[in-house]
Structure 1
Amino acid sequence: MRVQGVGVGRGVVTGPVLRMPEPLPEPSDRPRSNTAAWESSRAEAALRETAHDLSQHAEHTTGEARAVLEAQAQMAQDPSLLTDVRSRIAAQKTAERAIFEAFHTFQQMLLSMGGYMAERASDLGDLSQRTIAHLRGVPVPGIPDSDTPFILVAHDLAPADTVGLDLERVLGLITSGGGPTSHTAILARAKALVAVVGVGDVAALVDGTEVLLDAAEGTVTIDPSPEDVQTARRRLGRRRSKVPVGPGTLADDTPIPLLANITRADEAPAARELGAEGVGLLRTELLFLDAERAPSIAEQVEHYQRIFEEFPGRRVIVRTLDAGADKPLAFLPVDAAEPNPALGMRGLRAFRGDDSILRDQLRALAIAADSCRADVRVMAPMIADAAETARFVLLARELGLGTAGVMAEVPSAALLAAQILGIADFVSIGTNDLTQYTLAADRQLGALADYQDPWHPAVLRLVRMIGDAGGQSGKPVGVCGEAAADPLLAVILVGLGVTSLSMAPEALADVRTELRQHTLEHARLLASRALAAATPAEARLVMAEA
């Protein structure tokens, strides 16, 4: 029996499964018997312990995993959460029940917002469990213990669980929830852990069941045959043969620069060590999130300089603040009643009424770029057409930035790619959102994980449109979405006209190795065959047959 999900990477592994323990039961809704002050002090102490635990986890990791854990720790100390908990305790709730209800209310609010904020909802569930465990003095539900290696099965994993995985014991990961851009997938990719997410029904995966986990195909084979296992081992052996760290090139020496997606300066050394030739996506949200006011130009300059100085003589592509209704900022007014924030005032659109924050960020980037030797380029998210492109490019140049591009994340940008590249210096394709909007499926909704597949021929055709426009204009077209980290899909993207790839640094070795197996002519042939496919599975089969 074989079940389908969405693979993270292209790893293959076999072994017995173990399931995550059931969560702690919901606290009863009995009236409290102690004083409100006593219950409040218990709740606040438990929240502090939870935040401390997560901060300790964060100190022992780096990159996106660290950022996720730090964000969770901040959630546990959110003033509005504490106020909610105290009010529930004042209304005769126990500390356990008040914590449960407060987190549940926030979860429902985030789920209703969709997009980025819906992704935070599962984090709140984990925080609730951890805090209640502290209150009860019991162990926090987590990874099962085992003396032998196993493949972990769960509905989804909390960030702290994923970061704490013992890679000597956990061979792989299967989740019924989540998608390729969920925290579970991001953190699994950062730890180079073989994973298939969004599997759906995992009821047949009882403890001890032997499975074959194939991330490249996004499949879980239950009770695989000896032939299945033998084939998997051959594939695993081929993956171990990596080309040395160096520039990304095809077999015919066509250069395909391999860049890193990063958020902070302390991620740069590892990215360079793994062979990143620069930065293809510098996220700038970290400086703005959870701030009561917009950071000053001076504060931003200092932050950007630390990152730029890590990449002398190399390109660093900065994405301007990607914020809005689904990433609310205290200092950026938005309409809280937006019915669908994923289609609302986000990205460049968040500054339609007042672009002062965007102007300050561009000024800060220009000042920081002038003081460093990095090749700094800037791009705007959520661009829909040539008019928006012109507005951003002209503003960037007016404020001192010589190279300005845009992100292609919505289908209209692909359809109008020739017009956009007539104005912008480059385009970077954000495949996560492009897939979401092309297939009209929320990328955070586990039930629709099979739609979150950048191998879908509809998505590939849009990439081809952008690639063709890049070729005709002589301007670069990059990919900075999760698709770039898939070695097999990377070959297809190059065949569609993509000229650079940016990814989590841990994926660089696999992508570099795979690209070296193909000439540009062969990549184009494979891409044309993938375009003719009717389904993502058929498109993947093109590479399997190759």
Structure 2
Amino acid sequence: MTDSAVLQGIGIGRQMAIGPVLRMPDPLPAPSDTMSELTPEQETARVDEALAAVAAQLTQRGAHAGGTAKDVLEAQALMAQDPSLKASISDLLSGGKTAETAVWTAFGGFRDMLLGLGGYMAERATDLDDVAGRVLAHLQGVAAPGVPESDEPFVLVARDLAPADTAMLDLNKVLALVTSDGGPTAHTAILARDKAIVAVVGVAGALELGDGTTVIVDAATGTVTAHPDSATLAQAEVDRDERRAAATAPITPGALADGTEVPLLANLGSAGGIDAALAAGAEGVGLFRTEFLFLDATSAPTVQEQREKYRELLAAFPKQKVVVRLLDAGADKPLAFLNPEHEENPAMGVRGLRALRANEDILREQLTALAEADAETDADLWVMAPMVATAEETRYFTALAHELGLKTVGVMVEVPSAAITAKAILRDAAFASIGTNDLTQYTMAADRMLGSVAHLQDPWHPAVLTLVSMVGAAGAELHKPVGICGEAAADPLLAVVLVGLGATSLSMSPAALADVRAELRNHTLDEAKRFAELAVSADDAGAARAAVIAAIAQKEATS
């Protein structure tokens, strides 16, 4: 690509970067399928050593990166030690294959199986490819494919980026990330947001950008401008510096330009994220995921074990709101002691509150631990149930939580039925929190993070926004708070739209707080409502986003 061009994708955040392109190198080629000159035992020793080395490297990278990246990389390390994969490799080695061929074939077979399963498991195929590439590189004694090295800062262009690479990007060198694949909820986008990397994903034509091409990467508009002229480049430099200044401005409470308060809260996956949330100016916690207490356990943790973790969290936010989501097991997070039965479609099976209700002793213990931690601290504890679909489920949960001593009890709105019947649900629930990731999945019948339907997994879609508006309207009528705690809240422009639809608070990754805070300050509530009307009236997600961007540009041009 040699002429000036503007490529469209999905931006992560609202920042801008300018610099030369450096492309991600191609993955290692398939090894030649020759018979081994070594014994199966010797080849097995080579494989075992390579798998162990890669698992250790991924674990070490995760520990260094911390946060969300730590969880993702530890999951990859487990892939490298998966017993089923090892058994498949062993069978191939017994047939005389080389270690390289056995690894390539076995990992490829498992990759195809994950793709066939669809949904969350299909998205893991990219992670599996990364592990396979690292094992092959170790066996061949070459460097694993990864982020290229450069003496000068650059814009990284790739088909997609493995979690291990995204987590370890040198932010002194990588100015921005542009990918041809992926959507707003894929691992690349989530980790880029978590690390505050300027990124535009899902960019058609990105792979045609040559090394050295000067590009303007604008996350706010989701555009990549190649070969900009001097006037465009000069204006972009001004815009970039203004946005950086706004993002680093003194931390203030979340609010619109007219003073309408919009509390900005943090999503946390464990108590380990507390410091980052406080440093970023979080006004509390809008989503505390409790799965970390359960996922590596063979049995449910005790009331005492849970209470200690909850108390640590609550003590860090005195007098501030802390919203805790109960265990959301099932689907992509099955637990042997909670989800013993195989399900053909677990995303629509016994998950969330359904699983807890079927194991009420675990539900009661978690609620008891939270009530005891609440009694020992002075945070404003709110507790919510995941995957609530009906008013009856709401009544069951709120009654049980109140019985066990909890005061502020609400529900997650993640399925269309809950949004459509929000008025009935909010008669019993003290609040609703909209999980936009799952709400988008179920509304669009598009499995989360499945690459082939990533274009549908977009919370900007008017169908999703219409459901959000229904919850917002029910909350306003009944004077009940409606929060947003999905990835949508971390998109600065979409955050404004969500407030226009009735959201009263927004919760996100701590790294996204500054950009969202700055964008909210640019618009009044009336403007947010007007942008929301434009988005809901659009035909699709792209048109909704474009309509809001155009309206803001027109407003700025006339102001």
Q: Same fold (TM over 0.5)?
A: yes
Q: Residue 343 of structure 2 contacts residue 349 of structure 2 at CA under 8 Å; is this kept in 1?
A: no
**Counterpart among 383, 388, 406 of residue 383 in structure 1:** 388
SS in 1 for 2:209: coil
Alignment counterpart, residue 101 of structure 1, candidates 79, 102, 105: 105
Name the residue aligned to 2:445: 440
Deviates more, 1:23-32 or 1:317-326: 23-32
Residue by residue over 1:510-530, the C-alpha shift from the partner in whole angstroms, topping out at 9 and shown as x without a partner, is 211222223323322332333
Q: Deviations over 1:368-427 (max 9, x none)?
A: 323332222211222222122222222322333222211111222211111111111111
**Match for residue 470 of structure 2 among 465, 468, 477:** 465
Instruction: Report how far residue 276 of structure 1 moved.
Output: 0.5
Alignment check: 8 A CA contact 2:266 2:287 kept = yes
Separation in 2, partners of 1:230, 1:150: 18
1:461–1:232 CA distance, 2 compared to 1 (3 A): farther
- CA contact 2:158–2:207 (8 Å) conserved in 1: no
CA apart distance, 1:22: 0.9
1:335 Cα shift? Answer: 4.4
Structure 2 counterpart of 1:280: 286
Residue segments in structure 1 that go unaligned for 5+ positions in a row: none
- 1:7 corresponding residue in structure 2: 11
Residue type of the partner of 1:63?
Answer: G
Structure-2 separation of matches of 1:299 and 1:177 = 41
Which amino acid in structure 2 is aligned with residue 216 of structure 1? A
* Comparing 311-320 and 197-206, the one that deviates more: 197-206
Give, in whole Å, the separation in 2 of the partners of 1:310 and 1:117: 35
In structure 2, C-alpha distance between the alignment counterparts of 1:342 and 1:203, rounded to whole Å: 34
User: Do residues 110 (structure 1) and 119 (structure 2) align?
Assistant: no
Which residue in the other structure is 2:402 paired with?
A: 397
Cα–Cα, structure 1 residues 388 and 29, in superposed 2: closer, same or farther, change >3 Å?
farther
Q: 1:299 aligns with which of 296, 299, 305?
A: 305
User: Partner of 1:322 in structure 2?
Assistant: 328
How far, CA to CA, are the matches of 1:438 and 1:541 in structure 2?
26
The answer to which of 499-508 and 309-318 deviates more is: 309-318
Which residue pairs with 1:168 in the alignment?
172
Larger displacement relative to structure 2 (355-364 or 122-131): 355-364
Contact 1:114 1:326 in 2 (8 A): no
Partners of 1:3 and 1:310 in 2: how far apart? 44
The answer to whether 1:32 aligns with 2:36 is yes
Paired amino acid for 2:307: V
Matches of residues 143-542 of structure 1 in structure 2 within 5 Å?
143-242=147-246, 243-338=249-344, 340-351=345-356, 353-534=358-539, 535-536=543-544, 537-542=546-551
By how many angstroms is 1:20 displaced? 0.9
Question: Is 2:123–2:451's contact at 8 Å kept on the other side of the alignment?
Answer: no
Structure 1 residue aligned with 2:130 = 126
Distance 1:341 1:109, change over 3 A: farther
Q: CA deviation at 1:532?
A: 3.0
- The answer as to whether partners of 1:176 and 1:446 remain within 8 angstroms in 2 is no
Structure 2 counterpart of 1:137, one-letter code = G
Q: How many angstroms apart in 2 are the aligned matches of 1:171 and 1:398?
A: 53
* Per-residue Cα deviation, 1:228-276 (whole angstroms, up to 9, x for no partner): 3334333223212334113212233322111001112121012101101
> Per the alignment, in what secondary structure is the counterpart of residue 292 of structure 1?
coil
Instruction: Note if 1:543 corresponds to 2:552.
Output: yes
Question: Cα distance 1:24–1:74, how it changes in 2: closer, same or farther (>3 A)?
Answer: same
Deviation at 1:337, TM superposition (A): 4.8
Give 2:262's aligned amino acid: I
AA in 2 matched with 1:123 = D
SS of equivalent to 1:301: helix
Paired positions, count: 545
| Residues 326/269 of structure 1: CA separation in 2 closer, same or farther (3 Å cut) | closer
Query: Quick one: which amino acid aligns to residue 491 of structure 2?
Result: D
Amino acid at match of 2:40: A
Question: Cα offset for 1:42?
Answer: 1.8
Matched, 1:138 2:147: no
Change (3 A) 1:437 1:233: farther
* Residues 248 and 258 in structure 1, CA contact (< 8 A), matched pair in contact too: yes
- Residues 311-343 of structure 1 deviation map (CA, whole Å, 9 limit, x = unaligned): 2222211111222133222333354351x4333
**Aligned equivalents of 1:92, 1:390: Cα separation in 2:** 62
Among 28, 50, 57, which residue is 1:53 paired with?
A: 57
- Pairwise CA RMSD: 2.2
Q: Report the TM-score, using the length of structure 2 for normalisation.
A: 0.92
Report the CA distance shift for 1:303/1:99 in structure 2 as closer, same or farther (over 3 A): farther
User: Displacement of 1:172 after TM fit?
Assistant: 1.0
Measured after TM superposition, the shift of residue 138 of structure 1 is 1.0
Residues 56-98 of structure 1 show CA distances to partners (whole Å, capped at 9, x for unaligned) of 2122223212222222223323344334433433343332233
| Residues in 1 aligned to 2:260 and 2:303: alpha-carbon distance in whole angstroms | 40
Q: Please state how far the C-alpha of 1:467 moved relative to its aligned partner.
A: 0.8
| Of 234-243 and 469-478, the range deviating more from structure 2 | 234-243
Q: Is the 8 A contact 1:530 1:540 kept in 2?
A: no
Deviation at 1:469, TM superposition (A): 0.7
Write the letter of the residue equivalent to 1:132: L
Amino acid at match of 2:359: D
Q: Please give the alpha-carbon distance, in whole angstroms, between the structure 2 residues aligned to 1:433 and 1:171.
A: 31
Other structure's SS at 1:2 match: strand
Could you say what secondary structure the match of 1:443 adopts?
coil
Matching residue's letter, 2:494: L
Relative distance call for 1:224 and 1:32 in structure 2 (3 A) is: same
> C-alpha displacement at 1:30, in angstroms?
3.0
In the alignment, residue 417 of structure 2 is paired with which amino acid?
A: S
Secondary structure of the equivalent of 2:433? strand
CA contact (8 A) 2:501 2:532 kept: yes
Compared with structure 1, are the counterparts of its residues 373 and 77 closer, same or farther at alpha carbon in structure 2 (3 Å cutoff)? farther
Q: Supply the AA of the counterpart residue of 1:320.
A: L
Q: Assess if the C-alpha contact under 8 Å between 2:189 and 2:201 holds in 1.
A: yes
Moved more, 490-499 or 287-296: 287-296
Q: 1:25 to 1:505 in 2, by over 3 A?
A: same
1:116/1:327 contact within 8 Å kept: no
Q: Which secondary structure state, in structure 1, belongs to the residue aligned with residue 139 of structure 2?
A: helix
C-alpha displacement of 1:200? 4.1
Shift of 1:7: 1.2
